[in-house]
Amino acid sequence: MTTILSGAPGAPAYPHAVDLDALRPRFDVLIDELSSQPFSAGALSKALAGGVSDAAAILRAIPIQEGRLLERGIGIIADLNPDLVVLTQNLRLPVTKTALELVEKNDPKHFRSLTLDADTGGRKTYTPDLIIVNRKTKLAHVVDVKRSLGSYEVSRINELKSRMLAAALVVPDLLYRDHHRLVAEEVRVVILNAENQRSDIAGGVWPLSDLDHLVEVGGAGKAIGMLRERFHARIDENWKLARNAFAGPMEERVRRGASADIADANGNEVCDPGSIAEVHQAASRGQIRVGFARIPRTGTG
């Protein structure tokens, strides 16, 4: 995948902007909600005491919660633009064989004016993380948020983009039918990569730092970066508390085991090996256009 800089300096200034001080309390509530239960110091300490399997299970939950954090954080930031509607529910989109063939075998100009019925059957579906609709411009973005694309092969990314474009063909019908007659005259797809690497702006893969241009809110990328940092800092803090709480009793048991001397048959003091052995180590829509998301340039539509 070609790495392309966003060209953000050429983008227009937006009428709405993030106030980080005002957002911080809302972010803190979100972080508390998504980190307190699964990643509290008590839960982490219990996982450490449970062994490698329990510790691994709780660590695997971090990416899941971070994904939810990013989706909801984007929603909070998007609320700053009154023209936007952010949808996160009832978004399962059919991906038909016909739609996939249209996308894979044709130039976008040959299918961008098409729209398919959302009731179209098919076993394949695609569920985006978000659909963001601008009621003023009638532009809808189908958004997939990834924590990282580092482990993704290029072929896997291309397959995801094809599914997203195929699913986008039903978005206008879905919005109008199921979401209060929302109208979309153009649908664009975008994969947001939270780790800000392997970007392909023209091909619809954006760094999360370019969120400003998706929600048309200045400072949005910086704000979502701050949210991620605070979330990871909270988990790191809880991890240190759990580690210290877990290490304290273990070290005490080791000391007790080492000093619990017993006498052998000749009256000589020896260390009880059993005490040490017990210590365990922790481990009417008109023409519809479909395509990739684009960063706007000053003076252009």
pLDDT in tens, 202-227: 899 999 999 999 999 999 999 999 99
Degrees to nearest 5, angle at CA 218 with 2 and 295:
35
Q: Which of 81-90, 125-134, 160-169, 278-287 has the least mean pLDDT?
A: 278-287
Angle between the 97-105 and 154-168 helix axes, to the nearest 10 degrees? Answer: 120
Q: Where are the alpha helices (DSSP H) in 121-190?
A: 154-168, 171-178
Residues 6+ positions from 251 with CB-CB distance below 8 Å: none
pLDDT in tens, 117-159: 877 766 789 999 999 999 999 999 999 999 888 888 999 999 9
Token pair 């474009």: residue? 165
Determine contact, residues 76/26, Cβ cutoff 8 Å: yes
pLDDT at 250 over 60: no
Binned at pLDDT 50, 70 and 90, residue 11 comes out as low
Determine contact, residues 290/165, Cβ cutoff 8 Å: yes
Burial class (CB in 10 A: 0-12, 13-18, 19+), 192: buried
Q: Where are the alpha helices (DSSP H) in 6-130?
A: 20-35, 41-50, 52-78, 97-105
Binned at pLDDT 50, 70 and 90, residue 268 comes out as low
Q: What share of the chain is helix, strand, coil (3-state, %, to 5)?
A: 50, 15, 35
- Please state, in angstroms and rounded to a whole number, the distance separating the CA atoms of residues 61 and 239: 14
Residues 23-50, mean pLDDT to the nearest whole number:
89
Binned at pLDDT 50, 70 and 90, residue 299 comes out as low
Predicted pLDDT at 147: 87
The torsion defined by the Cα of 145, 151, 154 and 155, in degrees rounded to 10, comes to -90
Long-range contacts of 241-246 (CB under 8 A, 24+ apart): 241/41, 241/44, 241/45, 242/41, 242/42, 242/43, 242/44, 242/45, 242/47, 242/48, 243/44, 243/45, 243/48, 245/41, 245/45, 246/45, 246/48, 246/49, 246/282
* Highest averaged pLDDT of the listed ranges 12-16, 37-41, 89-93, 210-214: 210-214
89: tokens are 């529910």
Helix (H, G, I), strand (E, B) or coil at 279: coil
- Please state, in angstroms and rounded to a whole number, the distance separating the CA atoms of residues 218 and 210: 10
One-letter amino acid at 113 equals S
Residues 6+ positions from 81 with CB-CB distance below 8 Å: 14, 16, 215, 216, 217
Determine contact, residues 182/175, Cβ cutoff 8 Å: yes
Binned at pLDDT 50, 70 and 90, residue 161 comes out as very high
> Pick from 174, 170, 155, 172: which is nearest to 104 by CA?
155
